[in-house]
């Protein structure tokens, strides 16, 4: 075959030379032509190579398009974007292959790894990091159960751990945690806490960042593929074993974990939390040949590159055609397109163009010059409109000036009739630097409450509404807006405001000042964030945390100390007259704050009792005060005794769920104290804490506070001292003698009072709840919203 071709070539080239030549010359020419022919044959494939490549790329794009159409686009609720895919033919690279397990809660798995994929972004994967939690727990007999975690990614694959998007977290009170790379220490942190109460979040149960108390945080190195996580105890949990026997360490995306003190000592912590971490990914290779589709561009990264849609396009930058980057039609929505309403929006590929109508000029865009008319008639109309607008403006200005003058006069009238001049005089007479009532303007409080918006309401009652407000300096306050005001007692009201602003006790809600420019004065108090003791005891949901007995006793001590201060240590004694659990607010760390002096009375220093109209709340009302109308400090002692019984039993002061004879909590308590064992009527949550001696002592103290005769009751100072003694030693001081006869007499008197009160006109319509005051009680000068 080669000989024939050779001969044909010789014949062809020989035909161009008609004259015969010598044999040696002829053979030389034949060899020369054969060399030229071999060269052309060797170059010929390269001349067709561009056509072959074009055909090959067209075939590949067609094949890829058909493959993408036939590939699953999601696994359960997780969308799967190319270059990732389920199966070897759906992913751009083998490393991007995924496996779908629909029966699993997190069904998407990175092929040949234990990583479960939760979500995709361009350049990052969010994967489940719960399986990679390192644990260390103390077991009985001084044994430890320790589990290390290793996060392993393919060594030369496109995935790395993101250092900027992840954090290293350790949880525990005796914990040292480390993150290692190939056996070499990379980073770590230490978390310690001396006691459970030392936690910043011990009361609320939740917190923000990890500061090293109960939880610590560290950064991780960037671009790693293999990391080992470990946790251990520093001191063998010797000092924290009562509340924390475990340590945990793990990687989590930044902001993906919020510390909760209940996580301390939780043996099944890995099954109770849901955390995730972020992996960076790139397309391996350089920018000489990329997977970027039409209308997209590539940008280099470490070990590879990523693709993005060009400006004016959106979609998947790794695909072509309808699956890839498509032009954004900026003109599709006439309400949101970039052109002004008078301009015509024309979509372009890419971009858009705004065309102004005839007679106008400009670029037509909202962000630019828009479209401006150029006719003189338009200018004339515009000038006329501006003249009319100026006249309207002047008219409105004159109207608002007159209106503001009327409002100023009205505010001055309210200020005078509410005792503003007297309050100013009293404030000016105070020594410089002494605490005094601040007089707020009407505008200040309207701005603080967004004009008394309903979303700012903290509570409402028979006397008015309480709003949450934020002053200009950022101080959060509670603003009480009353419905009525006794104009005949303005002088007493002002005097009480001045005195109450001088009450400075950490367990008494501070009165900051008042506003007298409204029809009814507004009182401004410090804001207490955690609600009332009543709501914590009686309105708690099954998921809300219970109040431990130690906290209840602490609340009782602080309330008693506050009332003792009001009775004896204040510049002028104050009888609260409405002590109840709904008037005891709880601040940070469940600090008790006595509030609502709406019907309180100031008592001259030379008097021990004050004749008044009977006011108070049914269930807390002192029987002696009800019968004699003589208000004494022992009336507050009786009401406080009912609060003690609430803390002991967890029952409401008045309840229709008990029998008619026992609807009053004081009667029910004294009956139970006489006839039942303590465990039968004390709150179950309290009884579980194994402090029977303290409970008996507090129950005995509550019985003393509920004595019918006020002179036999202890003073609030004595009550506070007894509670401190009980908290310290578990028992209180007992007077000598037999109290059985006294107990029986007091119980009989109280039962008689309860029956007479239930049948009187005072409660003939219905038994009042603990949030309601007596229906026939008249408001005093400081009657405020409940």
Handedness of CA 534, 540, 545, 546 (dihedral sign): positive
Spell out the residues 6+ positions from residue 630 whose beta carbon is closer than 8 angstroms to its own. 609, 610, 611, 624
Has domain 420-526 been given CATH number 3.30.200.20? yes
Per-residue confidence (pLDDT) for residue 77, from 0 to 100: 84
Neighbouring CB atoms inside 10 A of 275's CB total: 17
522-526 and 511-515: which strand pairing?
antiparallel
Which band of pLDDT confidence, cut at 50, 70 and 90, is reported for residue 750?
A: low
Share of the chain above pLDDT 70, in %: 75
C-alpha–C-alpha distance, residues 56 and 15, integer Å: 41
Q: What is the CA radius of gyration of the chain?
A: 42
| CATH 2.10.25, domain 329-373, yes or no | yes
At 405-422, the pLDDT tens digits run: 877 777 777 777 776 766
> Stretch 626-636: mean pLDDT, rounded?
87
How does strand 85-86 pair with strand 97-100?
Answer: parallel
Residue 119 bridge partners (DSSP): 126
On whether the CB atoms of residues 273 and 252 are closer than 8 A, the answer is no
Contact yes or no for 469/448 (Cβ under 8 A):
yes
What's the pLDDT tens digit per position in 436-486?
Answer: 678 888 889 999 999 999 999 988 766 678 899 999 999 999 998 877 666
Nearest by Cα to 156 from 100, 86, 236, 226: 226
Comparing 182 with 97, the larger pLDDT belongs to: 97
Choose, from 578, 636, 683, 783, the residue flagged as catalytic: 578
- Between 269 and 763, the more confident residue is 269
Pairing mode of beta strands 438-439, 372-373: unpaired
What is the distance between the alpha carbons of residues 272 and 249, in angstroms, rounded to a whole number?
14
Provide the pLDDT for residue 768. Answer: 35
Which CATH architecture group holds 283-328?
Answer: Ribbon (2.10)
Distance CA 712, CA 709 (A): 6
What residues have CB less than 8 Å from 656, skipping those under 6 apart? 663, 767
Cα within 13 Å of Cα(151), Cβ side: 33
**pLDDT band at 783; cut points 50, 70, 90:** very low
What's the whole-number mean pLDDT along residues 114-134?
A: 93
The domain 533-763 belongs to what CATH superfamily? Transferase(Phosphotransferase) domain 1 (1.10.510.10)
> What is the pLDDT, as a whole number, of residue 359?
75
When pLDDT is cut at 50, 70 and 90, the band that residue 719 belongs to is very high
pLDDT at 63: 45
Spatial distance between the Cα atoms of 761 and 774, rounded to a whole number of angstroms: 11
How far is Cα 423 from Cα 436, in angstroms, rounded to an integer?
A: 10
pLDDT band at residue 603, thresholds of 50, 70 and 90?
low
pLDDT band at 625 (very low <50, low <70, confident <90, very high): confident
Q: Catalytic site residue 578? A: yes
Please, which residues bridge with residue 584 across strands? Answer: 594
Q: CA 65 to CA 84: how far, in whole Å? A: 14
Question: Is the omega angle on the peptide bond into residue 775 within 30 degrees of 0, that is, cis?
Answer: no
96 touches 108 (CB < 8 A): no
| Segment 297-311, tens digit of pLDDT | 999 998 899 999 998
The pLDDT tens digits for 162-180 are: 999 999 999 999 999 999 9
Report in angstroms the alpha-carbon separations of 376 from 343, 370, 372, 381, 387.
20, 18, 12, 9, 17
* Strand partners of residue 439: 514
- Separation of alpha carbons 636 and 592, rounded Å: 16
Cβ within 8 Å of residue 519, ≥6 positions away: 414, 485
Ramachandran class of 84: left when φ > 0, alpha when ψ lies in -120 to 50, beta otherwise: beta
The residue with greater pLDDT, 646 or 425, is 646
Confidence class of residue 361 from pLDDT cuts 50, 70 and 90? confident
Average pLDDT on 110-135 reads: 92
Alpha carbons 522 and 61: distance in angstroms, whole number: 76
**Spatial separation of the C-alpha atoms in residues 563 and 576, rounded to whole Å:** 8
Distance between CA 647 and CA 649 in Å, rounded?
A: 6
pLDDT in tens, 518-528: 888 888 988 99
């Amino acid at each position: 075959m080669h000989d024939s071709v050779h001969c044909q070539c010789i014949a062809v080239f020989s035909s161009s030379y008609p004259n015969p030549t010598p044999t040696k010359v002829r053979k030389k020419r034949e060899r020369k032509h054969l060399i030229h022919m071999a060269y052309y044959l060797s170059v010929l494939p390269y001349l067709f190579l561009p056509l072959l490549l074009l055909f090959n790329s067209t075939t590949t794009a067609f094949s890829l398009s058909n493959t993408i159409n036939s590939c699953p686009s999601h696994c359960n609720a997780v969308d799967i974007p190319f270059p990732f895919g389920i199966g070897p033919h759906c992913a751009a690279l083998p490393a991007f292959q995924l496996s779908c397990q629909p029966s699993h809660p997190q069904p998407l798995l990175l092929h040949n790894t234990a990583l479960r994929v939760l979500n995709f972004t361009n350049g990052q994967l969010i994967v489940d990091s719960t399986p990679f939690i390192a644990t260390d727990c103390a077991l009985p007999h001084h044994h430890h159960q320790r589990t290390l975690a290793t996060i392993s990614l393919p060594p030369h694959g496109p995935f790395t751990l993101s250092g900027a998007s992840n954090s290293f977290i350790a949880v525990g009170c005796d914990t040292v945690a480390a993150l290692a790379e190939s056996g070499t220490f990379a980073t770590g942190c230490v978390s310690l806490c001396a006691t459970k109460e030392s936690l910043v979040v011990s009361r609320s149960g939740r917190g923000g960042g990890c500061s090293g108390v109960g939880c610590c945080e560290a950064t991780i190195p960037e671009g790693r593929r293999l990391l080992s996580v470990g946790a251990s105890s520093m001191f063998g949990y010797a000092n924290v074993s009562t509340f924390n026997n475990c340590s945990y360490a793990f990687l989590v995306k930044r902001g993906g974990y919020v510390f909760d003190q209940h996580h301390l000592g939780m043996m099944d912590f890995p099954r109770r939390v849901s955390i995730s971490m972020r992996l960076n990914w790139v397309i391996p290779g350089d920018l000489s040949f990329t997977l970027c589709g039409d209308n997209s561009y590539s940008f280099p990264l470490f070990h590879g590159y990523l693709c993005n849609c060009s400006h004016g396009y959106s979609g998947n930058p790794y695909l072509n055609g309808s699956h890839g980057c498509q032009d954004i039609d900026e003109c599709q929505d006439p309400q949101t397109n970039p052109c002004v309403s008078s301009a015509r929006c024309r979509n372009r590929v890419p971009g858009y163009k705004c065309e102004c109508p005839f007679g106008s000029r400009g670029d037509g865009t909202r962000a630019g010059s828009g479209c401006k008319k150029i006719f003189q008639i338009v200018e004339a109309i515009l000038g006329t409109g501006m003249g009319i607008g100026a006249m309207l403006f002047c008219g409105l200005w004159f109207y608002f000036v007159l209106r503001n003058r009327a409002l100023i006069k009205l505010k001055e009238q309210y200020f005078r009739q509410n005792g503003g001049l007297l309050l100013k005089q009293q404030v000016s007479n105070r020594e410089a630097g002494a605490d005094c009532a601040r007089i707020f303007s009407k505008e200040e409080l309207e701005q603080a409450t967004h004009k008394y918006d309903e979303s700012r309401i903290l509570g409402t009652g028979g006397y008015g509404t309480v709003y949450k407000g934020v002053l200009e300096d950022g101080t959060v306050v509670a603003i009480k807006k009353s419905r009525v005001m006794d104009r005949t007692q303005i002088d007493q009201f002002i005097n009480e405001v001045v005195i109450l602003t001088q009450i400075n006790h950490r367990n008494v809600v501070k009165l900051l000042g008042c506003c007298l420019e409204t029809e009814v004065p507004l009182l401004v108090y410090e804001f207490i964030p955690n609600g009332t003791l009543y709501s914590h005891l009686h309105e708690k949901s099954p998921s809300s945390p219970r109040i431990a007995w130690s906290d209840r006793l602490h609340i009782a001590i602080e309330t008693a100390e506050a009332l003792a201060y009001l009775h004896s240590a204040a510049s002028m004694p104050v009888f609260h007259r409405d002590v109840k659990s709904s008037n005891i607010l709880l601040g940070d760390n469940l600090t008790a704050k006595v509030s609502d002096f709406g019907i309180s009375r100031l008592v001259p220093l030379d008097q021990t009792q004050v004749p008044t109209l009977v006011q108070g709340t049914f269930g807390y009302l002192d029987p002696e005060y009800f019968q004699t109308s003589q208000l004494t400090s022992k009336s507050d002692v009786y009401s406080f005794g009912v609060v003690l019984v609430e803390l002991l039993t967890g029952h409401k002061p008045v309840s229709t769920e008990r029998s008619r004879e026992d609807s009053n909590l004081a009667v029910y308590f004294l009956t139970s104290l006489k006839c039942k064992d303590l465990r039968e009527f004390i709150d179950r949550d309290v009884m579980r804490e194994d402090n029977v001696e303290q409970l008996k002592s507090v129950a005995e103290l509550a019985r003393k506070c509920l004595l019918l005769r006020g002179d036999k009751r202890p003073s609030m100072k004595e009550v506070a001292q007894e509670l401190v003694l009980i908290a310290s030693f578990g028992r209180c001081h007992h007077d000598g003698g037999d109290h059985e006869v006294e107990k029986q007499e007091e119980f009989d008197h109280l039962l008689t009072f309860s029956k007479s009160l239930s049948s009187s006109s005072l409660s003939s319509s219905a038994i009042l709840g603990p949030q309601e005051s007596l229906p026939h009680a008249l408001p005093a000068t400081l009657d405020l919203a409940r």
